[in-house]
Amino acid sequence: MPTDLNDVLDGPSVLSAAEGYKAMEDDRDWVDDYDDSEEGEDGDDFVDAFLEEEMNLAAEPADAFANDPYNVRMIKEISERISIEVMHPLRDGKPLLVLDVDQTIVDARALKRGELLPQQCARPGLVEFLKQVYAYYDICVWSQRHWNRLVTKLFELEVLEASADDWAISFALDKHAMFQARATEDGRQTKHLVKALQIIWNHFPQYGPHNTIHIDDLRRNFAMNPRQGLHITPFKNAGTPEAAEDRELERVGQYLVHIAQTCDDFRKLSHKHWRRARREARNQT
């Protein structure tokens, strides 16, 4: 587990110098391109509507995205181009948790403003969540930000500084592992950034759709792998009494432990109703 920021700031690069400069230019206003239009209500009674028509995410894998030749080619090209640095050894038999960063485990807007300490911008229960799930999962963090911003943010949150006895981040991916996926349905083309899990699976074949779960506050990031996606409500307004009452990580942590203990193939599950499944599991104990 890296303990020095400089050890990982020179992490895996996938761009030429010119491309890297343009990517950094594009990334300057990263907080302004965050889209919170998909936010839902917090609490156990939240109905997790998948917006199937708008997002083309049906109950089965989104064939329009998964089978598009452009998307297939981009996954292959990115898989061959990038290098993924393993920060902590992968463990035999552990499923993989792919964890988003901005508005999932931290209020990125509050962190950007600098009015609060980084730890005050973290979602309540973050440390306890990481400790809880690490006993059952290898952990990957995947952000649509530039590598240096991502790593700096994780150090500010002290996510990368834990002892391996508590938790460890196995590896991290930044925006260079993402691409604008395309799909055509009823003659209409749609495109948006996605996190295609196949890129991870191509690098680490011990993981696959049977043992990977992806937690994100933006449903569109699941477009290539909707069955592996678990939507979490965005965390915002850090520093307010309402934000301090957020219990989303506590709840999703209970669900993750439950499925790790009871399910040998995550393809059997629908994470769409994870809140209901969590409540039912708790009622049975």
Whole-Å CA distances, 170 to 16, 163, 203, 204, 264: 26, 13, 13, 12, 21
pLDDT, greater one: 229 or 40 = 229
Predicted local confidence at residue 7, as pLDDT: 54
Confidence at residue 37, expressed as pLDDT on a 0 to 100 scale: 40
CATH superfamily of 52-284: HAD superfamily/HAD-like (3.40.50.1000)
pLDDT tens-digit profile of 151-163?
A: 888 888 888 766 6
Region 128-151 average pLDDT? 93
3-state secondary structure of 172: strand
| Secondary structure of residue 216 in the 3-state scheme | strand
pLDDT at 55 over 90: no
pLDDT confidence of 64, banded at 50, 70, 90? Answer: confident
What is the arithmetic mean of pLDDT over 226-248?
A: 96
Cβ atoms of 263 and 97 within 8 Å: the answer is no
Instruction: Give the residue extent of every domain in the chain.
Output: 52-284
Q: Which of 4-13, 106-115, 179-188 has the lowest mean pLDDT?
A: 4-13
> How many CB atoms lie under 10 A from the CB of residue 59?
10
Q: What's the DSSP call for residue 102? A: B
Question: What is the C-alpha to C-alpha distance for residues 279 and 202, in angstroms, rounded to an integer?
Answer: 35
pLDDT, mean over the chain:
81
Low-confidence winner among 107-116, 207-216, 232-241 (lowest mean pLDDT): 107-116
Element (H, E) at 139: strand 138-142
Report yes or no: 94 and 217 within 8 Å, Cβ to Cβ: no
Alpha carbons 27 and 156: distance in angstroms, whole number: 19
pLDDT digits (tens, 9 = 90+) for 5-49: 455 555 543 333 334 334 333 433 333 344 444 443 333 332 233
pTM of full prediction above 0.75: yes
DSSP 276: H
